[in-house]
Amino acid sequence: MKTNRLPATMLLATVLSLSGCAVVPVGEPYYGGPVIVSPPPPRVEYVGPPPVVGYVWIGGYWNWVGGRHEWAPGRWEAPRPGHRWVPHRWERDGEHWRKHGGRWNRD
């Protein structure tokens, strides 16, 4: 009797490909250690008109990438009824800095 070994091979390939993955919560980047460098002042962004009337501007922010601050540009986003946008922000935590990701909060 001939058996089909393809599903087992695919399972093994999937397990091996995922074995090196790291899971990081969305909105809070993993930066491999404490951030001791204060973020620069926010950049001035040209907003322009929204692509659709009623869209909300989500301002850019400084992200911590590869051991340095990197600007993430702002964007237009569709509003979420019953919610308000809370922008990204950096807060000092002792000698370190901690980034709090932007999010939609219920009103």
Q: Is residue 40 part of a domain?
A: no
Q: What is the pLDDT of residue 18?
A: 43
Q: Is residue 13 part of a domain?
A: no
Report which of residues 83 and 14 the model is more confident about: 83
Give the model confidence (pLDDT) of 33-88 as tens digits: 689 999 999 999 999 999 999 999 999 999 999 899 999 999 999 999 999 999 99
Q: Is residue 88 part of a domain?
A: yes
Distance CA(79)–CA(102), nearest Å, equals 14
Structural domain of 57: 53-107
Report which of residues 29 and 85 the model is more confident about: 85
| 100 neighbors 87 (Cβ within 8 angstroms) | no
Q: Is the pLDDT of residue 26 over 90?
A: no
Q: Is residue 99 part of a domain?
A: yes
Distance CA(63)–CA(71), nearest Å, equals 6
Number of domains observed in the structure of the chain: 1
Q: Is the pLDDT of residue 21 over 90?
A: no
Q: Is residue 73 part of a domain?
A: yes
| 7 neighbors 15 (Cβ within 8 angstroms) | no
Q: How confident is the model at residue 7 (pLDDT cuts 50, 70, 90)?
A: low
Q: What is the pLDDT of residue 15?
A: 42
Q: What is the pLDDT of residue 34?
A: 81
The residue whose two tokens read 């946008």 is: 85
Own/partner long-range contacts of 32-38 (Cβ < 8 Å, ≥24 apart): 34/95, 34/96, 34/97, 35/64, 35/96, 35/97, 35/98, 35/99, 36/95, 36/96, 36/97, 37/68, 37/69, 37/97, 38/90, 38/92, 38/97
